[in-house]
Structure formats: C-alpha cells, structure tokens
Structure 1
Amino acid sequence: MSNLQQTDIPQAPAAERPSYTLWQLVLYMLRLGTLGFGGPVALAGYMHRDLVDTRKWITDADYKEGLALAQLAPGPLAAQLAIYLGYVHYRIVGATLVGIAFVTPSFLMVVALGWAYVRFGGLTWMQSVFYGVGAAVIGIIAISAYKLTNKSVGKDKLLWVIYLVLATVTVVTESEIAWLFLAAGIVVWFWRAPPKWLRQGGLNALAVTQVPTVGGIVSTVDWPLLTQIGVFFAKAGAFVFGSGLAIVPFLYGGVVTEHHWLNDKQFVDAVAVAMITPGPVVITVGFIGYLVAGLPGASVAALGTFLPCYLFTVIPAPYFKKYGKRPGIIAFVDGVTAAAVGAITGAVIVLAKRSIIDLPTVLLALVTVALLWKFKKLPEPVIVVGAALIGLVAYPFLRA
C-alpha cells in the first residue's frame, strides 16, 4: 500500500467538506453562463461576489489561486477561473461539469444568432442594441474592477505599484503581456519570502506554471476545412494570453487576413455578437465557426478554443492546491493577482474608449454605476435589457 501511495504528481490535501453540492455549483455556473454579461472582467467579479462574499462556498485564497492560474495560462480567463473553482472541492469531475455548464449557454446563443445571420442576411439591429448595452456593460465592469481592486490590492504599496503598472501597460498597448504577470509574481515572492537558494546564491528554481508543449502544427490549404478550423482555433486557445481582449486581433489575422473565411463586416458583427451575449467573450469563435462551416464548424471552433484552456487549468491544479499555502507561493499569487486586477482595470478603460462615444452613452454608463452602487442586489441582466431597449429606440434617431 505504501508504494501505491507514492506518486510523482502532487496530491491535493483533503479539502474540508464543502457547504454546497456539485450540482448547486453547476447550476450557478449554468445561470452565470446564461445571464452573465460584461466579458471576463465582469464574470470574474460576479464569481467573487457570489461564491466568495455572499455564499461563502469558495475561500478568498482559493479564488485568488484560480485567478492567478487563469491569468498565467493562455486562453479565456473567465472560463479557466470557473473550471478551477469547480476543481477546488470536486476535482476533475467538478472542473469538467462546471466548464461545460459555463460555456454551453452562450455557445447555443451564438449558434442561434449565426443561423439567423445566415438565414436573414446580417444583423443590423445589433448596432442599436450594442449602442446601449456597450455603455451599460462598461458601468457593470467598472464596479466589478473597483471591488476586485479593494479586495485584492488593499493598502499594500508594492501591490499598488504592480497594479498601476499593469493598468497603464494594458491601456497603452491595448493587450495583456503574459510575462509581466510572471514578473509581478516573482517580484512579490522575492520581496516577501525570498527562497533559500536566492539567499544562498544557489541556482535552483521553482516551476510555477505549465508551458504549452503543443507546437509545430501548421495548417495547410489542402486539409479539410474542419481540420483547418480545428487547428486554427486550437492555436488561438493554446497560445493567446489575455482572454477576449487579446484574442480578437489574433482571430482577425487568421479569419480575415490569412484564411479569408470572413470579410471585415462579418468579423465586426462576430465581435458584436460576443459583446451582446452573456458568457465569455471568446465564445465569438462559435459564431465565426458557424459562418464558415455551419454547426460542425461552430462545434469544432469552440472545442478547439476551450479544450486547451481546460487542460491548462486541471493539469497544474494539483500543484496549486498542494503548494499554494507556502509563503513563497502566497506571495507569488498575490503579485500575479495584483497584476491581473490592474490589467482588468486597464481593460475597462480600453473597452470604454470603444463603447463610450457620446453624451448619451456617458450618461448610460454613469447611471449604471449609480444604480449598482445604490442597489447592491440589483440584477445586472435587468440593466442590460433596459440598456438594449434604450439603444433600440435612441440609436436610429441619434444617427438619423
């Protein structure tokens, strides 16, 4: 028996008995995937508010570990965070079911919109809807970013420096630079809990993240179309950091410029679909896949994008669970978390520049912030629906 208990893969310590069932968490993620607007910033904020602060199903430490891992690994941040939270108490089964529950609702929505787009020729009403929804979403994610900042950064001066640097870099570059998250974690780790080998001048190092080993796969025009779609979107899921904010230019380069699957207008419509539907912004890959090759294309594109992020979450998870309570790892996670929240705050500003375009949208964003500040339990979907209706009525008159 003793030999059977020895393994090279670290085993997570026995978790305390959870105060919730797996199906309660799955139903929560199903609801969040159905009604959660605002992209990765807002979705991460909802999970903290609902699962850590309100229901207390997940500890703040586990949430921060999940956010750090999601930020370090390539792929959609919100989906990876959800998968990790499913893993916390229910391991592989929990991670798998939570991931499916979180992604499926928005996937079905974008497939339905893809069908309507092809059937009826374009989605011109999207401009009106997004005019209102985009401004309201900025208000929603601004509140989420504010709460995350207070919770994760607090009054720590070093974390504030990291936070401000990442926020500035994100605003200036309009992208998230993966190595800066690693650097932030290492700085805090070395400052708070320097490892013995550093004090002794040794050369040992701690592996803190998994590096994707997939490489050398090149799609060719001779491959069947579905294979091309699968290879391209797998590369998007495996090598693009920064979630929805960073994957859009990557998708544009492959979908429009390289493969010529869509034209510019179709691609912009695909991004609009992602922004006006709940769930992860990256789910736009399902819409793109549908336009290229129907339902099989949508399914292959979504699977290719989300499977790598699932693997990059569950494979390192045992290491995070086993070693996550060590002082050096706690310091590293704090640094990465501060960097992540800084990047999220910067992303709010980047997205605001695209959605806040005139006085009515400014007012919509400010009213959203005021409502959420005043009425703590006001459901965000109510605000989104109201903003969509305002957009449908106001936009034609404003652009007439």
Structure 2
Amino acid sequence: MVTTSASASYSLGQLVRYMLRLGTFGFGGPVALAGYMRRDLVEQRGWISESDYKEGLALAQLAPGPLAAQLAIYLGYVHYRILGATLVGFAFVLPSFLMVVALGWAYAHFGGLSWMQAVFYGVGAAVVGIIAMSAYKLTTKTVGKDKLLWVIYLTLAIVTFVTESEIAWLFIAGGLIGWLWRAPPKWLHKGGINAVAAASLPAASGIVAGIDWPQLTQIGVFFMKAGAFVFGSGLAIVPFLYGGVVTEHQWLNDKQFVDAVAVAMITPGPVVITVGFIGYLVAGFPGALVAALGTFLPCYLFTVIPAPYFKKYGRLPGVKAFVDGITAAAVGAITGSVIVIAKRSIIDVPTLIVALVTIVLLWRFKKLQEPVIVTAAALLGLVVYPLIHSNAI
C-alpha cells in the first residue's frame, strides 16, 4: 500500500507550489516533465522514493491519461492520498489552462487579423512535423517488432485516415485482442466468452451521439469520452478531437483545429490542455472549463482508484497485454491523424518545407525542444505569409 502522510518529509503546500511552478514553466513534453519530477523530487529534494516514482510512472504509462499529469497526481497521492492527488493535479494543470484560455480569447477576438493568420500559417505546418516525429518515436517504442501489435497499429492507422474520426470501441477491441491472444483467462478455454457486450459498443456510441444534449453537457460528455482514451501519449487525443470537434459536431473548421493543436505546442504543461482552447472557441470560458474538467476527470480517476492496488495487480500478464493492445491502437490512430491533419495544413511549397525541416531538426537534434521550433515557424510565417498573400491578391 501507499505510505501515509506521517512519513512525508515535506508539506502538501510545498508539493503544490512545486507543481504550480512546474506547470507554469515546464516545457518539453511529457517525457521531459516526468524527468523534471524525478530530478527535483527524487534526486534533489528526496521527497519521493525511487520505488514510489517508478510505480507512479508505470501506472501513468498503463492507464489512460496524459502521462505527466497522471504522474503528478500519483505523486500527490503517495503521502497525502485523495487530498494530495486532487490539489497537486489541479496545481499542475491550472497554469497551462489559464494560458490557453487567454490565447483562446485573443484568437477569438483577433483571429481575423493578418498577423495572427501569418503566425498560424507557419505554426500549423510545424505542428504536422512535430506530430509526425512523435508518431514515429511512439511507434518504435510501443510497437517495435511485435507482429500482433503491428496488425492492431496498422488497422487503426488506416481506419483513422479513411474515416477521419475516432472510433472508440476499436481501442477497446485492440486491448481485448492483445489480452485474449497473449494472456487468455482460464475461463476462455471453457468457452465462456461473451461477445454481446463488445458487439454492442458501436451501437451504444451511436445512440449517445444522437441525443440532443444542451451544448455544455454535450461538450462535457464528448471530452470525457476523449479523455478516457488518451493512451500512449497526450497526442493520442488528437484523432479523437478531430473526429468529434471537426467532423461530427463541426464546432471548429480544419484550420481552427490545427491552430488549437499549435497552441498546445507553444504552452507549457500537457498537450491535452488544448481542450481548453477548443472549449473556449466553442462556448467561451464555460466551454473551456467544462472541456478541461471532462478531459482530466477520467485521468484523475484512473490514477486515484487503482493507486492502492497497483503494486499487487499492475504487473499481471493480462493487464499488461490489454494495455499493450490499446496503446498500439492509440499510436496507430495518431499516425493516421498525421496524414489527415497534413492534408489541411500543407497547402503550398513553403508549408511543406516547414514540415520537412521540422522533422529533420527533431531527428538530428534530440534535445531540441518543440516550443523553439514553433516560435521559429511563427516568425517565418510572419515573413512568408504576407508575401504569398499579396501575390494571391
């Protein structure tokens, strides 16, 4: 079981202040943020033990949710249980949420200005390159040479590309295939499998989508569903969001969606926080708040609920096989979404060059941080876009 607050060498207030600061200045993506937590809390301060950190990281990788946010929540739980997890998670996400809401306000009020169009002209192309490299790294790390995972991965990549939408039950199907193939339960050999529930998932999804919810409720339900399937990386939410926000509900157009992903790249904290920007564009501040709460609530619950039992059950072969299957499906969906988004963002030769240069830079310089590339792409857009725009006129 997790240790109690009596053995903590720090106060809850100290940990909350640390997470608030990390959420404000923590650039570099989920892996970098997890690395900062280890350096600061395990090695330098000694607040968290190495074993507790590793267990939190393992749980964050196994369960759905943005890795860095889930790890922060778990570290808050280690000594201060539910209160610690709640306050730490809130402190970690709040700074980036406020930033994307502020950017959403500026975008909504000044989005028609030529300078902002020029910025996102360059940034949108860079985002394609960033997501493409992230998809490549995730593929090599999570799929590797595993033939079963490659089948799941390619299936989701193709389906996402063809349908340009999220199909949530296919993620579950990927997990079930991995579980039943790699670590089948004993009752399976006795013919006890029941496929009725799995077969009804697509139908149930269609029924929920067809209900005429009030807008805020509809936003909350959609983002809770999306937040429950953020496996493998925060970028796993991109294909879900595209399918729901652009294709199904038509809350945003293609350009606005790519701009929303770009906003997540230039702000600290988890990539998933782009939901706040999207929610603001759809329904103002209430929309941003509901979208963020809906997305992070599953992440919070998937951390706090299994935390006391993770040491006992987290390494079971069936659990690992199920998560491996879902992760392969999520990475496949990310790969498919790269192609979908590229079709909207790569509109001419300069944007193609920006995307390709972004990929080359990230490939060549492993420690190059994404906000640096995004900033350079924004400056390039300010120079190039007016020239092309004036020529078009």
Decide whether aligned partners of structure 1 residues 359 and 319 sit closer, same or farther in structure 2, where only a CA change above 3 A counts. Answer: farther
Identity of aligned residues (%): 53
Question: Structure 2: 5+ residue runs without aligned partners?
Answer: 44-49, 230-235
Q: 2:331 aligned with 1:341, yes or no? A: yes
Find the aligned partners of 2:337 and 2:257 in 1 and give their Cα distance: 20
Q: Determine the structure 1 residue equivalent to 2:60.
A: 66
Q: 2:265 aligned with 1:275, yes or no? A: no
Structure 1 residue corresponding to 2:25, chosen from 31, 44, 54 = 31
Q: Determine the structure 1 residue equivalent to 2:159.
A: 169
Pairing of 1:67-106 with structure 2 (within 5 A): 67-70=61-64, 77-78=65-66, 81-91=67-77, 92-93=82-83, 95-106=85-96
Question: Does the 8 Å CA contact 1:139/1:366 hold for their aligned counterparts?
Answer: yes
Decide whether aligned partners of structure 1 residues 322 and 147 sit closer, same or farther in structure 2, where only a CA change above 3 A counts. Answer: same
Question: Does the 8 Å CA contact 2:153/2:333 hold for their aligned counterparts?
Answer: yes
Pairing of 1:1-400 with structure 2 (within 5 A): 22=15, 27-32=21-26, 35=27, 43=29, 63=57, 65-70=59-64, 77-78=65-66, 81-91=67-77, 92-93=82-83, 95-116=85-106, 122-202=112-192, 228=214, 230-240=216-226, 243-248=237-242, 250-251=244-245, 269=256, 272-273=259-260, 275-277=262-264, 278=267, 279-280=271-272, 281-288=274-281, 292=283, 295=285, 298-299=288-289, 302-303=292-293, 306-307=296-297, 310-311=300-301, 314-315=304-305, 318=308, 322-400=312-390
Q: Per-residue CA shift, 1:98-145, capped at 9, x if unaligned? A: 533443334323433444456668444332111111111222222222
Task: Give how far 1:323 is off.
Answer: 1.9
Question: Does the 8 Å CA contact 2:69/2:93 hold for their aligned counterparts?
Answer: no
Decide whether aligned partners of structure 1 residues 248 and 183 sit closer, same or farther in structure 2, where only a CA change above 3 A counts. Answer: closer
**Which structure features the higher share of helix residues?**
2
Find the aligned partners of 1:31 and 1:161 in 2 and give their Cα distance: 39
Decide whether aligned partners of structure 1 residues 330 and 308 sit closer, same or farther in structure 2, where only a CA change above 3 A counts. Answer: closer
Q: Per-residue CA shift, 1:138-168, capped at 9, x if unaligned? A: 2222222222112111221111111111111
State the aligned residue count: 349
CA RMSD of aligned residues (A): 4.2
Q: Per-residue CA shift, 1:202-244, capped at 9, x if unaligned? A: 4699x9xxx99xx89x878xxxxxxx55423222223446734
Decide whether aligned partners of structure 1 residues 112 and 347 sit closer, same or farther in structure 2, where only a CA change above 3 A counts. Answer: same
Decide whether aligned partners of structure 1 residues 315 and 230 sit closer, same or farther in structure 2, where only a CA change above 3 A counts. Answer: farther
- Paired AA for residue 237 in structure 2: S
Q: Give 3-state SS (helix, strand or coil) of 2:63's partner.
A: helix
Question: Does the 8 Å CA contact 2:160/2:333 hold for their aligned counterparts?
Answer: yes
Q: Give 3-state SS (helix, strand or coil) of 1:399's partner.
A: helix
Find the aligned partners of 2:359 and 2:38 in 1 and give their Cα distance: 22
Moved more, 95-104 or 186-195: 95-104
Decide whether aligned partners of structure 1 residues 364 and 120 sit closer, same or farther in structure 2, where only a CA change above 3 A counts. Answer: closer
Q: Per-residue CA shift, 1:7-39, capped at 9, x if unaligned? A: xxxxx5669x99x9956565444434xx46xxx
Find the aligned partners of 1:135 and 1:120 in 2 and give their Cα distance: 21
Decide whether aligned partners of structure 1 residues 133 and 114 sit closer, same or farther in structure 2, where only a CA change above 3 A counts. Answer: closer
Decide whether aligned partners of structure 1 residues 284 and 322 sit closer, same or farther in structure 2, where only a CA change above 3 A counts. Answer: farther
Task: Give how far 1:86 is off.
Answer: 2.3
Q: Per-residue CA shift, 1:64-109, capped at 9, x if unaligned? A: 6535532xxxxxx53xx33322243432455434533443334323
Moved more, 105-114 or 301-310: 301-310
Moved more, 158-167 or 233-242: 233-242
Task: Give how far 1:252 is off.
Answer: 5.8
Decide whether aligned partners of structure 1 residues 52 and 360 sit closer, same or farther in structure 2, where only a CA change above 3 A counts. Answer: farther
Question: Does the 8 Å CA contact 1:52/1:60 hold for their aligned counterparts?
Answer: no
Find the aligned partners of 2:103 and 2:345 in 1 and give their Cα distance: 22
Find the aligned partners of 1:120 and 1:347 in 2 and give their Cα distance: 28
Question: Does the 8 Å CA contact 1:129/1:392 hold for their aligned counterparts?
Answer: yes
The two structures have a TM-score, normalised by structure 2, of 0.71
Question: Structure 1: 5+ residue runs without aligned partners?
Answer: 1-11, 37-42, 71-76, 221-227, 257-261
